[in-house]
Amino acid sequence: MGPGSILQARSSAFDPAGPVSEAIARLTEWMTWVFGAVFIVVMVLIIFAVFAKHNPEKKKTLNENWFIIAGGLIFPSVVLFVLLVYALVLTARISFGEEKLLIQMTGHMWWWDVHYPSHNVSVANEIYVPVGKPVRIELRSRDVIHSLWVPSLAGKVDLVPGMTNSYYFEASQPGVFRGQCAEYCGLQHARMGLYVVALSEEDFATWIKERQHSAPLDSPEKKSGFVAFKNKGCATCHTIRGTEAIGQAGPDLTHMGSRLSLGAGLLPNTFGNLAGWISNPQALKPGNKMPRTYLDARDLHLISHYLMSLK
């Protein structure tokens, strides 16, 4: 799964890849057909009313009272009631699902902290899940209201400060799916994306096992990279497990080199993009919480190499 895979990520409510999004797509289809039919009937009646010749001889062509009661009261009540029941039953069914895997997610301005509590793994801006397993994500927010939306997998649920909400979904096929913050949350709301990667069960087991490893400084390159990382203040905000970097303000970078994107879906994670991002994150995503770093070429090279080596 390389950074190029995000360019083909699926992201459409009309392209469902799981039972929850499938159910939502069916409801959307039904609503479109029913309301489309009602719209056509109303338009035909309007055209009829506009062009019908007025004939004073013929007092009543139609029983108006009956027409108003049936067409204006009974018909819309029945249509809306049936769709309301359908939507309520569906909402209840997809809002309280099964849970085979629990993920905890915290929204920040403007990135997603993703934690697997039973494996003690933390990543950012990407969610890996096994295909065919119902997932529940506990949603929290550190600052303002965000909203998680992965159109191909499920609907939207808000991340509200002081509250814990749940997001249920299941991916029924492997693939990469793009998600997006769907609640205006400030300057970089539009650049608060994420990716859901659905893997086969074996691949997911391998993935989570690799994420459990910490990142020891076991080579001279890593050591000098880490020294630059620390001296430039990066460790104040970022954690790299296995080192003395234990900052909490920004994403956990323990496996930065295997991340798909940079800046929450802003750029594919390649060496060049990473170096550009580190050297001036404010130019690429103005207003984000990562300050300008003013690195010289040597430090920039050391830090970029070090971070890309953290697979």
Nearer to ligand CUA, 19 or 193 (CB): 193
Nearer to ligand CUA, 192 or 310 (CB): 192
Q: How far is the CB of 249 from ligand CUA (least distance, A)?
A: 16
Nearer to ligand CUA, 11 or 243 (CB): 11
- Cα angle 147-151-152, degrees, rounded to a multiple of 5: 145
**Is the CB of residue 265 less than 8 Å from the CB of residue 178?**
yes
Helices and strands in the chain: count of H runs, count of E runs: 8, 12
Q: How far is the CB of 157 from ligand CUA (least distance, A)?
A: 13
Phi, psi of 70 (to 5 degrees): -75, -50
In residues, how long is the chain? 311
Nearer to ligand CUA, 108 or 241 (CB): 108
Which chain residues interact with ligand CUA by CB under 6 A?
107, 110, 146, 181, 183-185, 189, 192
Q: How far is the CB of 159 from ligand CUA (least distance, A)?
A: 8
Nearer to ligand CUA, 110 or 169 (CB): 110
Nearer to ligand CUA, 110 or 128 (CB): 110
At 115, which helix (H) or strand (E)? strand 111-116
At 197, which helix (H) or strand (E)? strand 193-199
Burial bucket for residue 40 (CB in 10 Å: 0-12, 13-18, 19+)? exposed
d(CA 63, CA 5): 63
Q: How far is the CB of 181 from ligand CUA (least distance, A)?
A: 3
What's 134-189 look like in SS3?
CEEEEEEECCCCEEEECCCCCCEEEECCCCCEEEEECCCCCEEEEEEECCCCCCCH
d(CA 279, CA 311): 21
Q: How far is the CB of 145 from ligand CUA (least distance, A)?
A: 8
Nearer to ligand CUA, 179 or 225 (CB): 179
d(CA 67, CA 144): 51
Q: How far is the CB of 42 from ligand CUA (least distance, A)?
A: 37
Q: How far is the CB of 192 from ligand CUA (least distance, A)?
A: 4
